Structure 1
């Protein structure tokens, strides 16, 4: 066996599909000895100038010795990655450890692919691999005129330092994932993902593969919808058995098309899709929309076929929407792309819509049309094997045509990334989401996601944390969307109700109170009120500084059309800086009478007044928008800056895993060391097994101590008599020891400890655990079984801001206990929030910490001592869903999907 064969395999997560800055894809993986012939081919394609910059000398060819050294690595002291595209190596990056914790890093990128962000991708993945094998600092030797390499290192977000010696620059930098480095990575990710989606919507030429002459076929419908939708680009029909389709000449293959093809819509049997993708790749197609079914939604064979499809598309630099999808739509008048199975081309509007189910997509478009809402763009992702909702969020964030984002989510493969991206997008434009399976946590066939252990409340909390407006039904989504698309945001919760129906006015007031709104003004105009009466009342309500929004109710008398009142509502809505919603003639959406023309071409302009068939729906939509507006106006502080020592905490965990490779619960001294590294003081305690040890512990603490059992069966059970308090001397301890051992079953297994007595307070618990899907999840609640049984806990996904911690202490139902409930003292909430921030940081930093909990924190008027703590360490078996190196979601059927 050779040395190369004896080298352990690198971690599986070091291999990934990645997205380049221009939106194209590539594949990164550790180098292997068998890559030697392709390395020679790659090196031959690199220019002499690039070779000189890499090796500081003319080096036209690689010697066999160099080739062996470059391709045979140990994946610890010597690590190398290659980047592949269309089965060709286009870049190589490597580091070699030169001393413990320090390694020299270098890159070589094929000239024709330079400028696509490849060196940055390699640096991110090398840095992540370096951190995993104990490297903390990179050194790069660079020629001073190698401006591109110097710019790459300086733009990475690390603090680069160095100087020139003997004509060579030596640049050094720590590879710890600083806030700046993570920010740079996120910005590049955003740019790349947005660019990849823009290629679909901006297509100037579309080929329909599987176009058919027969009526009532998918291929026929796709061609017809493109043509009748007035697509402004070129449409090409591909059908080897036809000469023409719908008046268009038919080509035998995509390669036979004489012109450039930007987008391919594939509607052929699943077994034929593989060959079509190869044909599209050879033609230089930029994106694929796979309408065809017969993939993961059909079972294991279909999952294998889907995995192969995605891998093939990405290996040739292509992104893919679908399979088993409805398609994509762009209503921009300069494009008018209806690359979908929907015969209905929605009107131009301000909302971007993402959904997954193809069947549901048709119903959604019908609802949009009936309400007069209009869309900017629409995507049905089907099995979302590649393109996902996260990609669309990245695109819509910068899209000037989209002011409101609508998401119908049947599954969330990467909620950690969703939270991060949505939190940023929600700052610029509202995001409204319907999530199916909220109670069952089920996902449709074809959607590959990990199971998750966190309760449904954790997902709801993640949506709130990100500012996402979560609603229960599609109708509620459109209720909220039409308000956000056409009316300004309210400044607060105070509403005025103006109407000509006393009964509906009372319903509106009840609905407002139930939704958390405050009715500051109610004007009953009477059944005979006319347009002038409405205009005066609405003007007064809007001018009232005690009013933030207005609900107008108009039920017309017999033989009255309401046109005059509609004109008043439309005029007031157009001029008002406060939102106006209505129940007008029982109409739904934005009726023609209440629309304001939009110079941008949208169906209902800014200022148009949305109408709801039921006043409760109007108030409910307004309440959702109020909550979003308040979230938007709440100062969002950055991630809290804490004085912590991650290296010290990491050393504790590594020490545990050295002696217990499979992981275990941390012991008390290990817990104290770990928590102390993050500024958390664990209340002192002494384990005792005999009365003599208990007496010695009491003496050591100076008495005023407690004796308690700490075995697992006693945790979180204040109803069990396992604690004896107010032990002031040896006699008290003798009595406590005898009494507790008498009433506890199996006292020798009780895990008795002695602790100093803490001051009275409110018991709270703070915990964090590693969820298979979410990554770290932090929770907070009042300690005790009732809170657990009632599910009264607040959840957040790290990293946490100060505002996140503050919200957690206030959103649980038991929060009044912290703020002087029934005359009790207000506890030190600031200290509780500080502990939550520190536990979140601890769990976020240390991935091998499977769980950490402070099950009993006694929050008092001054301070909140941590009386008990637990933690468990386990070896790292898989990556988190949001790592410190950009990567596309793995292929369906793997452990993780985006």
Structure 2
């Protein structure tokens, strides 16, 4: 063992290891992956090799003087860090260091930061990425400000700091520019980070859908093999690029020359479709990495869906792919499709190439994917792109949302989700995408919270209602089945959005008209107009009635019903022509029950100049009027969501975040395992967010109760707070209006006689609160979702009936309003049966402030305001419970860009 190795071992024994979450796979600007992790003493050789590849100019920019080599002292200084005051992060690709960034604390809260990036990797956004991760590490270690010294000629580094979204102050002295900035995660800095994340993820997926060349690895000469099917589907789909087949045991496959390895293929290969046995996939990854392939679509099965051995194989596959810069769709995937005529890519196991349309589709199950493609074709819906991601080990629905947001051809996003690996990011991205394009989703396992084999996600602690609320909050149209998804999609793809809930029903069947009206009323639509044309109505009658309904300012959408009359030749074609012509010109949506057909029938289609199977204005048909009305109701709800401003708010004037963070950090320093807050600590924490917690005196004897009453100036209550007593509907655990020692003695005696086991009652004394409606506000830090907020009316009936509303912070301006109003018991707050209307605005303020507290402080694992009395003149917060714990795992959507990993993964070196 060398002296340096011995010193490294000694350092490792004395320096605490860095937090595990500082290590992550990341995505660079060009859509390729890399691995970031803290520097270790054993990285000396990596550092020497890296430094030898850096140009003299870059070295000069970093050290302000010629430094062709690093001395032993330099190596020791750069690799020996304590992960607290001296932090260094390195970026790796294929096991080689390509960049390093570090900060060194100069004084408490103030650190100097610097970077060095290998020249051939400059321009890939690496400096910005390292700055994000160093800033987050610094925040966790109490650093508040970074300072950087930069030579004026080093414009790239100057822009790295100025473009990070921080407020940078610059000064020039002795030929060096000093840049100082606070590293608070401001809205601007987070917005910059999210934009970079968006561009990188878009770039990584765009390469999959627009390859110039595709290699099929595992192509076979036998007709009944997966590899041969992939070749056939690519060829028959008229792929616009080059197709290469790889088979080490054949000279040709399907009339095309076969290459022994990917490396033997002349020219570049953008995407590799992998269909080899699972145990051989790892070697394929290495071959593709050496060739410079951008991404892999792994059709092969035999991974996490097969059990623990396959799960470990999948972890190695993901780690190896990312370590070499490759993105991965799959494994156990059906494949990908792009219907763009310029590309015409069918790199999937499905023989069905769907028609060109306006919707992008993401699913996970391969078997279900085949059924989906057939259903799309039968309905005449059409797709732009399709991804069946199988086990979703790397590329997920979040990546596809980032791509579809920028894809002009995709106007509707369809998601079939069997699991959600990063729901906070999903919510954040979906909120943004939904403002531009509707998202329709089916989520399996809603009641069981189960996930299929092969999908590794952390356990969800939040109730299913909270997940549903997250979907609504993000503007996602959540439906119950694939059939309902297509019902909604064909309306969104071909008809304009409605302006409101008012509906006209036009048809030649009175019975179906009544069914449509009943269905509309049951889903919140308002039938403002009904035109019964009679069984012998002509096409001209339909045209007049439809025109009248569309022109009516009291109508926002039209339901058209046509059942062909007996012995009337040509009626079907004539009415279809009318519906298609009116639909093409209408600025209001039209849905139909036309001959009981499903989808967009040929007769009701409008030609599309963009090449889609059916253009804008085509009228969708539903086999039942109930399905037509239900689809319309979903679209109406989305249109209403679009019209509501989505700005997030926080009552900054009454919020002292620094004081709250200081309190929580102080508590955890003294109690690293976490603990429940006492009353004084609860009061300080809530006061920092503008919440006034009423004084509470816990008492165990009559003397203590009397002293508490005197301290509060009397007019007090004595009440039991034990869980088994405080939710009693008869309120037998509370004695009110106590004004003297004698009254307190009487109350104490009476409650002790009335309550069984009074020593466990948990008696407290408080001021007598004004009358009001009891409400509860609670939050929790879910291991998967992060903060979850709930609201309800206080009492056991709320718990028994599950009458609570949920949201995922941060809240938009209207979310608190919606939470208060959507519970079934909300009329109690709005003058039910002549009672006083409470101060709902103050309830909403409390909801917003509690949500902001939980959003700001992930160390708060649970917070509850179990009794808030809401009256006409305000609210009284009479109780609270708060627990703080250290953050062992960061939220899935932290303040840095990182790719998600499977739970329990050991990340690759």
- Fold agreement, TM-score > 0.5: yes
For residues 583 and 729 of structure 1, what CA distance do their matches in structure 2 show?
75
> Which residue in the other structure is 2:248 paired with?
240
**Local SS of the residue matching 1:131:** helix
Asked if residue 386 in structure 1 is aligned to residue 397 in structure 2, the reply is no
Determine the structure 2 residue equivalent to 1:285. Answer: 293
Q: Secondary structure at the match of 2:112?
A: strand
Q: Which moves more between the two structures, 382-391 or 862-871?
A: 862-871
Q: Report the alpha carbon displacement of residue 453 of structure 1 after superposing the two structures with TM.
A: 1.3
**What secondary structure is seen at the aligned counterpart in 2 of 1:125?**
helix
Q: Which of 686, 708, 724 is equivalent to 2:719?
A: 708
1:44 to 2:52 alignment: yes
Matching residue of 1:147? 155
Identify the residue that residue 594 of structure 1 maps to in structure 2. Answer: 604
Counterpart Cα distance in 2 of 1:446 and 1:719: 51
Deviations along 1:838-897, one digit per CA (max 9) or x if unpaired, are: 11111111111110111111011111111111001112211111111110011465499x
2:412 corresponds to: 404
Contact in 1 for aligned 2:509/2:561 (Cα 8 Å): yes
> Which residue pairs with 1:114 in the alignment?
122
Query: What are the residue-to-residue correspondences of 1:231-380 with 2, within 5 Å?
Result: 231-380=239-388
- CA distance, structure 2, for counterparts of residue 739 and residue 130 of structure 1: 58
Q: Name 1:698's counterpart in structure 2.
A: 709
Name the SS of the counterpart of 2:814 in structure 1: helix
1:448 counterpart (422, 446, 456): 456
Aligned to 2:633: 623
What's 1:863 paired with? 874
Distance 2:417 2:651 in 1: 34
Per the alignment, residue 758 of structure 2 pairs with 747
Gaps of 5+ in 1: none
- Seen in structure 2, the aligned counterparts of structure 1 residues 507 and 446 have a Cα distance that, compared at 3 Å, is same
Helix, strand or coil at the partner of 2:878: strand
Correspondence for 1:203:
211
**TM-score, normalising length: structure 1:** 0.99
Q: CA deviation at 1:687?
A: 1.9
Partner SS for 2:550: helix
Which residue of the partner structure matches residue 174 of structure 1? 182
Aligned to 2:768: 757
Tell whether the 8 Å contact from 1:353 to 1:405 is kept in structure 2 after alignment. yes
Query: In structure 1, what is the equivalent of residue 475 of structure 2?
Result: 467
Question: For the residues of structure 2 that align with 1:819 and 1:642, how far apart are their CA atoms?
Answer: 28
Instruction: Provide the aligned length of Structure 1 versus Structure 2.
Output: 896
**Deviation of residue 347 (structure 1)?**
0.4
Q: Kindly tell me: are residues 895 and 357 of structure 1, through their superposed partners in 2, closer, same or farther at Cα, counting changes over 3 Å?
A: farther
| Candidates 572, 577, 597, aligned match of 2:587 | 577
Number of the residue aligned with 2:624: 614
Match of residue 699, structure 2, among 688, 704, 717: 688
Alpha-carbon contact 1:241-1:252 (below 8 Å) kept: yes
Counterpart in the other structure of 1:645:
656
- Superposition CA RMSD, Å: 1.2
Q: 1:372 to 1:763 in 2, by over 3 A?
A: same
- The CA distance in 2 between the partners of 1:513 and 1:264, in whole Å, is 52
Pair 1:228 & 2:236 matched: yes
- Cα distance between partner residues in 2 of 1:870 and 1:194: 44
1:829 matched to 2:837 = no
Give the conservation status (yes or no) of the 8 Å contact 2:539–2:575.
yes
8 Å contact kept, 1:495–1:517: yes
Distance in structure 1 (CA, Å) of the matches to 2:864 and 2:101: 41
Q: Which moved more, 1:729-738 or 1:531-540?
A: 729-738
CA deviation map 1:463-514 (0-9, x unaligned): 0000000000000000000000000000000000000000000000000000
The separation in 1 between residues aligned to 2:893 and 2:740, in whole angstroms, is: 54
- Of residues 736, 746, 749, the one that matches 2:747 is 736
**Counterpart mapping for 1:496-507 below 5 A:** 496-507=504-515
| 1:307/1:49 CA distance change after superposition, 3 Å | same
| Pairing 1:810–2:796 present | no
Q: 2:101 aligns with which of 64, 69, 93?
A: 93
Looking at structure 2, the residues matched to 640 and 224 of structure 1 have their Cα atoms a distance apart, in angstroms, of 57
Contact kept, 8 Å, 1:447 with 1:892, in 2: the verdict is no
Q: Distance in 1 between matches of 2:906 and 2:652?
A: 34
Return the offset for 1:709. 1.6
3-state SS of 1:578 partner:
coil
Contact 2:466–2:807 under 8 Å retained in 1: yes
Query: Match of 2:4?
Result: none
Listed one character per residue, the Cα deviations across residues 668-715 of structure 1 (whole Å, up to 9, x for unaligned) are 001001101111110112222222222222122221110112234334
Q: Deviations over 1:11-43 (max 9, x none)?
A: 111100000111010000001111111111111
TM-score, length of structure 2 as denominator length: 0.97
1:776 partner SS: strand
Secondary structure of the corresponding residue to residue 2 of structure 1: helix
Determine if the alignment matches structure 1 residue 188 to structure 2 residue 196: yes
521-530 or 154-163: bigger deviation = 154-163
Counterpart residue number, 1:603: 613
For 2:486, the equivalent position in structure 1 comes to 478
Q: Which residue of 2 aligns with 1:524?
A: 532
Residue 516 (structure 2) aligns with: 508
- Provide the C-alpha distance between the structure 1 equivalents of 2:731 and 2:815, rounded to a whole number of angstroms: 34
Q: Cα distance, 1:152 vs. partner?
A: 0.7
Alignment match, 2:6: none
Give CA-to-partner distance per residue, 1:820-843, whole Å, 9 cap, x none: 111111111111111111111111
- Residue equivalent to 2:732: 721
Q: Contact 2:251–2:259 at 8 Å: present in 1 too? A: yes
Residue 66 of structure 1, aligned match among 49, 70, 74: 74
Structure 1 residue 625 displacement after superposition: 0.3
CA shift, 1:205, in A, is: 0.3
Q: Among 682, 700, 722, which residue is 1:671 paired with?
A: 682
Query: Structure 1 residues 719, 299: CA separation in 2 closer, same or farther (over 3 Å shift)?
Result: farther
Question: In 2, are the aligned partners of 1:596 and 1:605 still within 8 Å (CA)?
Answer: yes
Using the TM superposition, give the Cα deviation of residue 816 of structure 1 relative to its aligned residue in structure 2, in angstroms: 1.0
For structure 2, the 5+ residue unaligned runs are 1-8
- Residues 515, 748 of structure 1: alpha-carbon distance in 2 compared, 3 angstrom cutoff: same
How far apart in 1 are the matches of 2:232 and 2:651? 58
**SS of aligned partner of 2:75:** helix
Q: Deviations over 1:790-819 (max 9, x none)?
A: 111111111112211111111111111111
